[in-house]
Amino acid sequence: MAIPGLTSIVVVLANSGPLTRDCVEQALASDVPVELILVDNGSADGIPESLDRAYADDARVRVVYNRANLGFGPAVNRGAAEARGDHLLVLNPDCLVEPDTIARLRSHVDIHTAIVGAVVCDDQGRPDPASRRYDPLLRRAINTKLGRPGGIDITGPMPAGAEDVEIVSGAIILMPRIVFDRLGGFDETFFLHCEDMDLCRRARDAGYRVILAGDVRVLHGKGVSSRRRPVFVSRHKHRSMYLWFRRHDPMAKHVLVRGAVFFGIWAHFLLKIPGQVLRTRR
pLDDT of residue 227: 65
Report the predicted TM-score, pTM, of the whole model to 2 decimal places.
Answer: 0.94
Interacting residues of 263 by C-beta distance below 8 A, sequence separation 6+:
none
Minimal CA–CA distance to 226: which of 79, 76, 67, 92? 92
Q: Exposed, middle or buried by CB within 10 Å (0-12, 13-18, 19+), for 182? A: middle
Q: What is the Cα–Cα distance from 6 to 103, expressed in whole angstroms?
A: 11
* CA distances to 28, 81, 116, 174, 279 from 196, in Å: 24, 18, 12, 12, 27
pLDDT of residue 274: 86
- 127: number of CA atoms within 13 Å, CB side? 24
pLDDT of residue 225: 54
pLDDT of residue 276: 80
Splitting the chain (282 residues) into consecutive groups of 10 residues, what average pLDDT does each group show? Answer: 94 93 97 98 95 97 95 97 98 97 97 97 92 96 92 92 96 98 97 96 98 96 68 93 97 96 94 82 68
Minimal CA–CA distance to 6: which of 130, 176, 167, 146? 176
pLDDT of residue 221: 82
Q: What is the Cα–Cα distance from 175 to 105, expressed in whole angstroms?
A: 10
